[in-house]
Structure 1
Amino acid sequence: MGVLLVLWGQRLRRDRWQLVSWVVAIGAFALFAAAAVTQTYGNAAARTEILQVAIATPAILMLRGLPRGADQGAFTFFLIYAFLALLAGLMSTFLAVRHTRADEETGGAELVAATPAGRLLPNAATLLHGVAANILVALAVFAGFAAQGLDPQGSLTAGAATGAVGLVFLGVGLLVAQFMGTSRGANGVSAALVVLAYLLRGIGDATGTPGADGTTMTEGPASWFSPIGWGQQTYAYSGNRAWPLLLPLGLAVVCLTAAWLILRHRDTGDSVWGARPGRAAARPGLRSPVALALRLQSGSIIGWALSGMALGLLAGSLGKAVAALDTPGTGITAVMRAMLQAQGISLTQLMVSVIFSMAGVLAAACALQAVIRLRQEEAAGTAELLLAVPVGRVRWLAGYLLLGAAAVVLVIGLAGVGAWAALAGSGDASMPADALWETALAQVPAALIYLAVPALVFVLWPTATIAASWALLALGVVLGIFGGMLGLDQNLRNLSPFTHTPVPQGDATDWSGAWGMLAVAAVTAALAVAAMRRREVGSA
């Protein structure tokens, strides 16, 4: 027991800043969302009107949640819960991989295994660490909601639902770490599963059945394949049901048991999907630094690109179902139709634009990973070996920037291909092909910002590259996509590139934001390349 507590203390020390940041951020989002509802939608009539618009607009349900009434607590849960659960899931997967596969990759796990701790206690300490982290997240969500005067029982249910989702993905992260040979691969697969759970929940909400009162919905079948959807079934503030929490807890136990059994039968540093032996001699195509960069990042680029295509297919496949909702059945649908016609877009175009904004986030993540790979190569010392041959620092950096820009175009392009193929296959003509490609193209400038700015950080402050890159992306998503929901000031929201992404409206489309972001990205990338001429390359 003493050894277990010592190992847990070591994890707490390593994660003291990351853990505090995650818990405080998730609790703050809960607090700000509840405060925004109080300030902006302070009466039941306003909340009822918003819910009716949301139920008539599947694109809103994709990003928000499952409407369960106009009560202030239920309305707040509808707005923010899915995002809180997404954050809890990402926190848990990163934590699990950091203390398992990443430690095995660096050799730290083997050193610990040589002590009386053995091979199993470190994973038990990681499990204890993850459980404690999710309890803190649950308490932070409870405190954030309760501090705004929401019902304590509903706040406790909402906190428990968020923590339960985190526990599921703690188990998922520990299990995936047994299969993948690198921490980068384990993080990528685990994060993709979290995003998949968010999307399945969104599909279930968007395809649900509206209630007779116009403020509630019954979820579609897809929600039952998502741990985040299970958390929504607690009906916090409107039902406060505890039994749905048995589903995520049960799945967490299954994942943890499987991970434990695999760990007992494999060698430290090995993985279920072992790496293939390399070639005795490199292919001729690896003679340039760009080709080497592509070889090192091809797996992650393919993963992000396939994710973009999946989002496009999702957008296109939902198009016909969304178009079917655009009927004169209800007054609120007529109001929505009039608003969209005034802007020159259809309900399908609105939904596709929302889903493509997610593809823009995926492209941005793919872009910044190119810069992160630069830092990883430098920290590992392999960059110095490469630069010992006739390859200059500027050429090395420029090659990764070109590869990152090409990856952005690939992710967005495949998202467009997927949406076009699905819309064409379903016979849905509510979104013209030119509008579809304009919507896809509009996502590129913001994604390029997340290539250029991290590159400048890498050149000027290399040790902060990884943390700053992900922090900038997270901040951009919160301000640009969720800022309105959180009631943030417009001047603050304008700091996010995603705020300035154009929404195609035929000939009335304003592309000034896109051109401005392209200019910022080009200038920032040029500054990074120029500054690289005077920067030393090392492992510090």
Structure 2
Amino acid sequence: MTALRLLVWHRLRRDRVQIPAWIGSFAALIVLAVVGLQDSFGSVAERTALISLAAANPAILFLRGAPQGTDVDAVLVFTLFSFLGILVGLMNTFLAVRHSRAEEDSGRAALIAATPAARWTPALSTLVYGLGVNLVLFVAVSGCFAVAGLDAAGSVVAGLALAATGVTFLAVGLVASELMPSARAANSVGVGVVLISYLLRGLGDAFGTVSDDGVRVDSAWPAWLSPIGWANRTRPFTENALAPLLVSLAVAAVLLGVAALLLARRDAGASVVAVGIGRPAARRSLAGPVGLAWRLQWPSIVAWAAGGAVFGIFGGALAPALDDGTLGGSVISDELTRLTGGADLAEAFTTVIFSLVGILAAAGGIQAIIRLRQEEAGETGALMLATPLSRLGWLGSYLIVGAVAVLAVVTAGALASVVAAFVVGVRENSAHAVLAAAVQVPAALLFLGAAALAWALVPRFTAGIAWGGLGLAMFLGIFGPLVGLPDWAVDLSPFRHSPEPQGTDTDWSAGIVMVMLALVTGAAASVFFRRRDLAGG
């Protein structure tokens, strides 16, 4: 028991900044959303116009969720809950991997194994700590909803739903840590499961059945395959159904059992997915820094590109079947028209889909810089720089691979969308899909340059700054206008300044500015990196 308590305390101390930042961001998002929603859609008529538009627009349902009425609390859940589900999933999968597989990668797990602590103690301490984090999450979320003046019972259900989602993804992270040979691979699996869960939830909501009054949507069956969908099915503040949480807890229990079985059967440092032996002689491409950086990262790049292709297939197959006849003349439709440059519903849907592809592209670029930081922290970078390789050449190789990752994700999404459109027999939307993909590149490259600058200035906080900045920009750019955030806050997101795809009339000026900023931040990163020592550990 002493060893368990010490290891739980050790995990708590290591995360003394990260976890409060995560949970604090959840609380801030809820408070901002409540205030913004009441300011922007304070009347029943405005909320009815918003929800009627959403219920008739699969693009909005895919992005936000299934609406359950026009009350303030119901509209708040519709606008925010799915996004919170993504963040809770990422927080828990990263937590699980950080305190399990990453401990083995660093060698700390072997040191603990040399003490009287039992074999199960580190894994059990990670589980206990993760459950405690989700308990704090439940209290924080429920408290914020209640303090905002919403119904107490609904606030509790909302907190329970997100906490149960977190426990499910905690179990996903623990299983991924047992399956994969490295923390990086386990994190990739965790992120993939979170994104697939969001996609399944989106599919279920987009194909849902609209009620007769047009303000409620009953999700289709794909939503039942998603932990985020289970959380949404609780329908806080309207039905307060707790039964879907039993599904979350049952799946979490099964996954925890699988993780325990795998832990009992594998050796320390081993994995179910074996590491390839490799070639007896290195390829000639590995003689240079770019080739080596590519070799280290191509599986992650392929995974991000596959995610972009999935979204592209969905956009290409479904968008041509939509029309804009149901939008009517509401004030919300005017906002949608402004955001999409006057495009019809099919083009608007494609634009929404590729805004998500742009986020994946930015994440792929950030991943390259995170890998650079891992090489430095593991002191592999010191070995590299002990050769004739310059600091500029080392950083430059990862920037090149990061740019390739951005282009690979966007290209995969565009090609998949075009192929899907041809398969369903409608080709008219293909050109718009390619353009909607291309306009995402500048913002994604800017995130790559910003991540490199963060690494050069504060290397130990690279991951937190890069991923946190991407998450904040995603919320501001996609959710900010809907919850009524001020324009200056929304404009902080680079995604907000991506060119609007309008064929030959597309204005690329903002995109050019972002590309120039990306080059400037990359150059600044090289200057600052030359002036600091390597930061190991």
Q: Is TM > 0.5 for Structure 1 vs Structure 2?
A: yes
Match of 1:214 in 2: 214
Q: What SS does the corresponding residue of 1:158 show, helix, strand or coil?
A: helix
Give 2:371's match in structure 1, choosing from 361, 370, 373.
373
- Distance, in Å, in 1 between the alignment partners of 2:334 and 2:24 is 40
Letter in 2 for 1:461: V
Q: Is the 8 A contact 2:477 2:493 kept in 1?
A: yes
- In the TM superposition, residue 445 of structure 1 has moved relative to its aligned partner by 0.2
Q: Is the 8 A contact 2:101 2:182 kept in 1?
A: yes
- Distance, in Å, in 2 between the alignment partners of 1:289 and 1:399 is 6
Q: Is the 8 A contact 1:204 1:220 kept in 2?
A: yes
Letter in 2 for 1:212: D
Give 2:497's match in structure 1, choosing from 489, 500, 506.
500
Match of 2:421 in 1: 423
Q: Which residues in structure 2 correspond to 1:466-477 (within 5 Å)?
A: 466-477=463-474
Once the two structures are overlaid, the 10-residue window that deviates more, 281-290 or 414-423, is: 281-290
Match of 1:171 in 2: 171
Where in structure 1 are there 5+ consecutive unaligned residues? none
- In the TM superposition, residue 141 of structure 1 has moved relative to its aligned partner by 1.3
Q: Is the 8 A contact 2:154 2:236 kept in 1?
A: yes
Match of 2:360 in 1: 362
- In the TM superposition, residue 521 of structure 1 has moved relative to its aligned partner by 1.0
Q: Does 1:41 align with 2:38?
A: no
Match of 2:351 in 1: 353
- Distance, in Å, in 2 between the alignment partners of 1:56 and 1:428 is 22
- Distance, in Å, in 2 between the alignment partners of 1:161 and 1:539 is 39
Q: Does 1:512 align with 2:505?
A: no
Once the two structures are overlaid, the 10-residue window that deviates more, 433-442 or 409-418, is: 433-442
Q: What SS does the corresponding residue of 2:322 show, helix, strand or coil?
A: helix
Once the two structures are overlaid, the 10-residue window that deviates more, 451-460 or 118-127, is: 451-460
Match of 1:465 in 2: 462
Q: What SS does the corresponding residue of 1:271 show, helix, strand or coil?
A: coil
- Distance, in Å, in 1 between the alignment partners of 2:432 and 2:278 is 45
Q: What SS does the corresponding residue of 2:42 show, helix, strand or coil?
A: coil
- Distance, in Å, in 2 between the alignment partners of 1:13 and 1:95 is 13
Once the two structures are overlaid, the 10-residue window that deviates more, 305-314 or 507-516, is: 507-516
Q: Is the 8 A contact 1:209 1:217 kept in 2?
A: yes
Letter in 1 for 2:492: L
Change (3 A) 1:347 1:430: farther
Change (3 A) 1:335 1:131: closer
- In the TM superposition, residue 536 of structure 1 has moved relative to its aligned partner by 4.4
Q: What SS does the corresponding residue of 1:267 show, helix, strand or coil?
A: coil
Q: Is the 8 A contact 1:384 1:538 kept in 2?
A: no
Q: Which residues in structure 2 correspond to 1:244-255 (within 5 Å)?
A: 244-255=244-255
Describe the superposition over 1:437-490 as per-residue Cα deviations: whole angstroms up to 9, x where unpaired: 111110000000111122222223333322222222222212222222343221
Give 1:404's match in structure 2, choosing from 384, 402, 405.
402
Match of 1:490 in 2: 487
Change (3 A) 1:372 1:343: closer
Change (3 A) 1:123 1:489: same
Describe the superposition over 1:223-274 as per-residue Cα deviations: whole angstroms up to 9, x where unpaired: 1111111111112111111111111011000000110111111111111112
- Distance, in Å, in 2 between the alignment partners of 1:8 and 1:69 is 43
- Distance, in Å, in 2 between the alignment partners of 1:327 and 1:470 is 39
Match of 2:82 in 1: 82
Letter in 2 for 1:397: L
Q: Which residues in structure 2 correspond to 1:1-400 (within 5 Å)?
A: 1-323=1-323, 326-327=324-325, 331=328, 336=333, 340=337, 343-400=341-398
- Distance, in Å, in 1 between the alignment partners of 2:44 and 2:233 is 22
Describe the superposition over 1:329-379 as per-residue Cα deviations: whole angstroms up to 9, x where unpaired: x85699959975994422111111111111111111111121222222122
Letter in 2 for 1:130: G
Q: Is the 8 A contact 1:155 1:236 kept in 2?
A: yes
Q: What SS does the corresponding residue of 2:141 show, helix, strand or coil?
A: helix
Once the two structures are overlaid, the 10-residue window that deviates more, 409-418 or 21-30, is: 21-30
Letter in 1 for 2:66: L
Letter in 1 for 2:517: V
Q: Is the 8 A contact 2:316 2:433 kept in 1?
A: no
Give 2:449's match in structure 1, choosing from 427, 449, 452.
452
- In the TM superposition, residue 535 of structure 1 has moved relative to its aligned partner by 4.5
Q: What SS does the corresponding residue of 1:372 show, helix, strand or coil?
A: helix
Q: Is the 8 A contact 1:30 1:84 kept in 2?
A: no
- Distance, in Å, in 1 between the alignment partners of 2:112 and 2:159 is 35
Count of residues in correspondence between the two structures: 536
Where in structure 2 are there 5+ consecutive unaligned residues? none
Q: What SS does the corresponding residue of 1:408 show, helix, strand or coil?
A: helix
RMSD: 2.1
Letter in 2 for 1:505: Q
Letter in 1 for 2:474: V
Once the two structures are overlaid, the 10-residue window that deviates more, 330-339 or 435-444, is: 330-339
TM-score by length of 2: 0.95
- Distance, in Å, in 2 between the alignment partners of 1:368 and 1:196 is 20
Q: What SS does the corresponding residue of 1:16 show, helix, strand or coil?
A: coil
Q: What SS does the corresponding residue of 1:214 show, helix, strand or coil?
A: coil
- In the TM superposition, residue 434 of structure 1 has moved relative to its aligned partner by 2.7
- In the TM superposition, residue 65 of structure 1 has moved relative to its aligned partner by 1.1
Match of 2:519 in 1: 522
- Distance, in Å, in 1 between the alignment partners of 2:112 and 2:419 is 52
- In the TM superposition, residue 537 of structure 1 has moved relative to its aligned partner by 4.2
Q: Is the 8 A contact 2:22 2:91 kept in 1?
A: yes
Change (3 A) 1:319 1:180: same
- In the TM superposition, residue 289 of structure 1 has moved relative to its aligned partner by 0.8
- Distance, in Å, in 1 between the alignment partners of 2:305 and 2:328 is 40
Change (3 A) 1:261 1:533: closer
Letter in 2 for 1:305: A
Change (3 A) 1:294 1:327: same
Letter in 1 for 2:520: V
- Distance, in Å, in 2 between the alignment partners of 1:338 and 1:380 is 49
- Distance, in Å, in 1 between the alignment partners of 2:197 and 2:377 is 34
Describe the superposition over 1:91-119 as per-residue Cα deviations: whole angstroms up to 9, x where unpaired: 11111111110111111112212222211
Change (3 A) 1:335 1:514: closer
TM-score by length of 1: 0.95
- In the TM superposition, residue 175 of structure 1 has moved relative to its aligned partner by 0.8
Q: Is the 8 A contact 1:69 1:75 kept in 2?
A: yes
- Distance, in Å, in 2 between the alignment partners of 1:331 and 1:527 is 49
Q: What SS does the corresponding residue of 2:237 show, helix, strand or coil?
A: coil
Change (3 A) 1:331 1:282: closer
Q: Is the 8 A contact 1:65 1:78 kept in 2?
A: yes
- Distance, in Å, in 1 between the alignment partners of 2:4 and 2:463 is 30
Once the two structures are overlaid, the 10-residue window that deviates more, 11-20 or 466-475, is: 466-475
Letter in 1 for 2:367: Q
- Distance, in Å, in 2 between the alignment partners of 1:469 and 1:97 is 18
- In the TM superposition, residue 533 of structure 1 has moved relative to its aligned partner by 4.5
Q: Is the 8 A contact 1:31 1:147 kept in 2?
A: no
Q: Is the 8 A contact 2:142 2:155 kept in 1?
A: yes
- Distance, in Å, in 2 between the alignment partners of 1:396 and 1:220 is 49
Letter in 2 for 1:274: A
- Distance, in Å, in 1 between the alignment partners of 2:316 and 2:417 is 4
